[in-house]
Structures are given as structure tokens and as C-alpha cells.
Structure 1
Amino acid sequence: MARPRNLQFKRRSRLRLDTWLLRHLQVAISSLGRLLHAPLATLMTSAVIGIALALPIGLHVLLNNLEALSGNWESGASISLFLKQEISDQQARTLQQRLARHSRIAEIRFVSKAQALAEFRRLSGFDEALDTLGGNPLPALLIIQPNIDQATAERAQRLLQELKKLPEADIVQLDMQWVRRLQAITEIAQRGVLVLAGLLGMAVLLIIGNTIRLEIQNRHGEIEISKLIGATNAFIRRPFLYTGLWYGLFGGIIAWLLVASSIGLLSSPVAELALLYETAFSLSSINSLMVLNIFSGSALLGLLGSWVAVGRHLSAIEPT
């Protein structure tokens, strides 16, 4: 007897679950149909939500591209080793050969005193002033390119300190200070985007909450009749929750379209600019995981905004 009762209980539980899912599906479809019957109003509300969401999303994508670009610059950072004035070119070449065997160094380029002077003449235009000196005041230079695994700021800094201890070294400079400043600015901008996303997320909640409030007022009589015939608050609340969810999802789709189209418009000019700087950088668009996060996050915002509005205004409606 126990086994048939267990089977019967499982069948009833499954039937209840199927019924519950079917009712939610029916309410979701009917809420979507109600929105589609007023396409202009739905589009305007969804567009406002989409624009509010597109701003932080677009800034986030822009900062991701900026981080990727600064990462490429960081990997290409070099160390300039200025030798002491008394070091001859032959001694500098000997040092170059010795450092070339260093495990942390990928490449070394030697710039002799004569080459440094010729380049300085070409860039500065101070030919007459240099001629009056009667000699070459510029030292020899070694431009050191660290290995890829040593190209991060911390590891390059350790290599810099090691090179400073060389007896031939006069001045050692790490040519990535401006990259580190850019990274610091990017980090500040990321926090600003988080603050902006929070503020605009609250704005989306208010927009959806106000829209649901107006919907509740328009259906005031229908809600009263439903309560008179015994409908529970959960039953009455359900279509409004799905309405908020649809608004949020539509806003997320519009935000995605806005950001994707903006990246598409900017990608060609950015690629042309990158070619002028002899780099292969290109703007990265929104990946599939980020699209999923946008859609799910916007839908949850819509659901939360409608939940707050329904919980506040539905309890105030009582049949008389």
C-alpha cells in the first residue's frame, strides 16, 4: 500500500508543478501581449531604460579596451641604460654582449655616442650650439627590452634596480611611467563607472516602478473585482511582475544594440588610427557572456522595480 501512495503523491506533486509553471507561462505571455498592443508606449519606456543602461555599459566596454591597449603598451616597455661619460663605445659593446646573456632580457640595442649626438642634432636643431662645445657631451646608451614574462611593471622595476647596480651605469630609466599613470586613471574611471551604474540602476528602478504604478491605477477597477471574487495578492501581483520583467529585458536589448552599433561605428576609425601608430589594435565588442549578463541584469532590475511598486500600491486597493 505504501508504494502506490508514494506514486500517487509524486504524480500530484508533479501535476501541481506543471500547473504552476503553466500559469506563470500564461501570465508571462499575456503580459507580453498587453505590452505589444501598445507598441509606441512600450518602445518609449524601453528606450528610456535602454539609454540609461547603455551609458555605463558603453563606458565599461571602453575601459576594457583601454586596459587591453595599456597592457600592450606595458608589454612593449623598455629600459634606457645611460652609461657613464668615460665609458667608451667598445666598453659599451662588451657590456651589451654580457647583458645579452641575461635570462630576463630579450633584446638590447646599442646607441653609440656619435649616433646619440646625430639624433640629437636632427631632433633639436641646435647644430651651432653643439659645435661650440668642442666635444660630444652625450653618453652611450643601451635600450633594453625585457622578456615578455618580465614586462609587467613590478618585474620590470626589479630588473631596473638590478641594472642600476652596474658600475658602468649612470642613469637607468623605465620607459613606462606614463603607462602606469594611464592605468591609475583607468582604475579611477572604473570606480566612477561603478558609481554611475549604481545611480542609473536606481533610475531604472524608479522608471519601472512609476510605470507599474500607472498600470496599477489604470487597472484599479479590475483589481477590485479580482479581490471581490477571492483572488489573492500573489495572483494579482503576478502580471505586473512580468510586465516589469519585460520592460527590463526590452531595455537591456536596446542598450545592447546601442553599444554594439556605437562600437561598430568607431571600430573603423580606431583601426585606421592604430595603423598610423603601427599597431594592430582593434576595438573589442561585447562578448556573449556580457550580453547574457546585460539581459539577465536588466530583467532582474525590471522585476525588482515592479516588485517594489506592486508591494507598495497593491495593498492600498481594497474592494468597497
Structure 2
Amino acid sequence: MKQTQSRAQRQASPGADKRTRSTGAVAARTGFGDLWRSWLGHHREVALESLRRFFATPMASTMTALVIAIALALPAALQLGLANFQRAVAGWDGQPQVSVFLHKDARDAAVESFAAKLRSDPAIAEVTYISPEEALAEFEQASGLGDVLAGLDANPLPAVLLLRPRDTQDDDKLQILVANLQQQALTDSVVLDLAWVQRLTQLTEVGQRLSAGLAVLLALGVILVVVNTIRLHIESRREEILVVKLVGGTNAFVRRPFLYSGLCYGFCGGILAWLLLLGGVLLLSGPIAGLSSSYGSNYALAGPGFSYFIGLTAGAALLGLSGAWLAATRHIRAIEPT
């Protein structure tokens, strides 16, 4: 009788059963915006915490950043030196040049006729005549021996014709041109400056390759320094990592603070490397300016500009991040709660 009465009551009020069921737990779906804000908030908190830990141990952090800075400053200094060397020789076009020294007793009319003949030669692009007086004045200015040369009875320098060949890539044609010039009646001697051009080009190439090789080796050294530093940080926080993993923290979640630590080490190392370069340039700029002025030049040593600052800091930060990722990925994966 009671069961029949309860069924009748439920049939009479069907909404009552629905209201009873609706009072249970309700599952809510998290939106993409909430996930994005949570992800950004965690990154912000982790970055600030990494900075706080970095400055909490200033001596150890500075020493690590200084090691990174020295490793980065060495190839950067070599590259900066090559850039200054190329800028110093930028006024010289680097093309082979033939110097034809004429006999001292050659007459002016014969020299002019010989120069006109050479200008009409299709193998020669340009002919420049330097008289003995002009050669002596240029030598006095370059050597600073004006008082000594003034005491000479006669000008010891001959007239010179500077020839610029049209085809500078074919060594055989250059050698044929030199042989033809040596057979001329007014020619005393012929000098081809091709060897100096080749040596300068090879020296520059050697410097560039040396700089690139040194940069690769020292970049590996920076990564190893960061790997060892982050490994020590992980070992010192092993218990904390175990607790985070026990409550469900993923490897990516645990790894994130150490990535920011490696980024801090690399970025500060890049700043210190730029400061080391700047200090070296300031130390050498005075003597180099004095040396260049003694040769009648106003050449000044160029320092590391804003592009060097951006390159060093960004490259160092990337190396620090790479080293931290390698260390954290390997060692955090090995730490698992039992």
C-alpha cells in the first residue's frame, strides 16, 4: 500500500525527481582563454622566481655569467678585429696592379708616347704616370725622412707607370702582360702586385674561418657550462621536484623554471661579453689612433655597436636556453617518485 502511494506521488510531481537529480556535481569545460591566461601567468611567475634565485646568490651567478662572457668575447673580439682590418683597407680596392719603373735617362716625350701606347692597349684598363718629383714627395710624406732626402744631390727615384689590367682573374694573361712590358726599351723593371693581393685575401679567409671555428667550439663550451650549472640546481631541488610530481606535475611543468634560469645566465653573460669588448676597444683606441696619425691617417678603431649588443645577448640567451633544456630534460626525467 505504501509503495503504491509513493509511486503515485512521484507520478503526480515529475519535476521533483528532476530537481533532486540536478543537485549533484556538474562538470564544467575549461575554455581556451582560461588556459592561455593560466599558461602566461605561470610563465610570468616562473620568470620572476628565476630572477629572484639568480640574484639571491650574486657571487655564484656572476662567476657563471663571467665564464660565459669570456667564452663569447674571444670569437667576438676576433670577428671585430677582422671587421676593423677590412675597414682599414677599404680605401684600397684590392685589385692587382703592375708597376713599370722607367729608366732614369728616359726623356719626357718618349715617356708620354709610351704611356699613350699603353693606354691604347685593350689589355690595360688604366695608366697612371708618376713623375720622379711626385714619387719623391710621396715617399717623404709616407716615410717622414724629409730632412734626410733634402740633403741628397739628386732625386734617386725613377718615373713610374702604374697599370691596372683589365682582366685580373687570369694569371696567365697577367704574366704575358708583364713579359711584354719587360721587353720595352724604356722599361727598367716591372713589379706585379698580384702576390700581395692573394696573400691578403688568404689571410682574411683564414681569419674568418678561425673565428667561425673558435665560435663553434666556445659555443659548445657555453652549453656545457650551463648544463653543469642547471644540473646542480636540479639536484639541490630534488625533493621539491618529487613533491610536484606526486601531485601531478608534468616534466614540462617542472622543467620550466630551469629553462628561465639558463636564459638568465646566458643573457647576463652576453651583456658582460659586450662590456668586455667595449673595454678592450677603449683600451686600444688611443694607441691605434696615435699609430695611424703617424702615418698621416685619421683611422679610428670601431667599437661594438648596438648590433653587436643584440647579437651577443640574443646568442648567449639562446645558448643558455639550449644548455638548460638539455640538462633539465635529461635529469628531470630520471627523477620519479617511487
TM-score by length of 1: 0.77
TM-superposed CA distance for 1:30, in Å, is 1.2
What SS does the aligned partner of 1:71 have? coil
Work out whether residues 92 and 140 of structure 1, in 8 Å CA contact, stay in contact via their aligned partners in 2.
Answer: no
**Which residue in 1 is equivalent to 2:65?**
46
**Which residue in 1 is equivalent to 2:84?**
65
Instruction: Report the Cα distance in structure 2 between the residues aligned to 1:27 and 1:244, rounded to whole angstroms.
Output: 12
TM-superposed CA distance for 1:139, in Å, is 10
Say whether residues 1:110 and 2:131 are aligned partners.
yes
- Which of 234, 238, 242 aligns to 1:220? It is 238
Say whether residues 1:80 and 2:125 are aligned partners.
no
Spell out the pairing of 1:149-188 with structure 2 (5 A cutoff).
Answer: 154=169, 165=180, 167=184, 170=187, 171-175=189-193, 177-188=195-206
Spell out the pairing of 1:187-206 with structure 2 (5 A cutoff).
Answer: 187-206=205-224
Percent identity at matched positions? Answer: 38
**Which residue in 1 is equivalent to 2:258?**
240
Question: Match for 1:264: what amino acid?
Answer: L
Q: Which runs of 5+ in 2 are unaligned?
A: 1-29, 141-147
Q: Relative to 1, partners in 2 of residues 1:284 and 1:143: Cα closer, same or farther, differing over 3 Å? A: farther
What SS does the aligned partner of 1:72 have? coil
Name which one, 1 or 2, has greater alpha-carbon Rg. Answer: 2
Instruction: Report the Cα distance in structure 1 between the residues aligned to 2:168 and 2:79, rounded to whole angstroms.
Output: 24
Instruction: Report the Cα distance in structure 2 between the residues aligned to 1:157 and 1:146, rounded to whole angstroms.
Output: 16
Instruction: Report the Cα distance in structure 1 between the residues aligned to 2:51 and 2:326, rounded to whole angstroms.
Output: 20
Q: Which runs of 5+ in 1 are unaligned?
A: 1-10, 128-137
Spell out the pairing of 1:1-320 with structure 2 (5 A cutoff).
Answer: 12-74=31-93, 79-83=98-102, 88-96=107-115, 104-105=125-126, 107-111=128-132, 141-144=159-162, 154=169, 165=180, 167=184, 170=187, 171-175=189-193, 177-320=195-338
What SS does the aligned partner of 2:296 have? coil
Question: Match for 2:276: what amino acid?
Answer: L
Question: Match for 1:109: what amino acid?
Answer: I
Instruction: Report the Cα distance in structure 2 between the residues aligned to 1:144 and 1:179, rounded to whole angstroms.
Output: 16
Q: Relative to 1, partners in 2 of residues 1:242 and 1:172: Cα closer, same or farther, differing over 3 Å? A: same
> What is the aligned-residue RMSD (CA, Å)?
3.7
Work out whether residues 205 and 302 of structure 1, in 8 Å CA contact, stay in contact via their aligned partners in 2.
Answer: yes
Work out whether residues 87 and 168 of structure 1, in 8 Å CA contact, stay in contact via their aligned partners in 2.
Answer: no
What SS does the aligned partner of 2:333 have? coil
Instruction: Report the Cα distance in structure 1 between the residues aligned to 2:58 and 2:70, rounded to whole angstroms.
Output: 18
Question: Match for 2:83: what amino acid?
Answer: N
Work out whether residues 223 and 320 of structure 2, in 8 Å CA contact, stay in contact via their aligned partners in 1.
Answer: yes
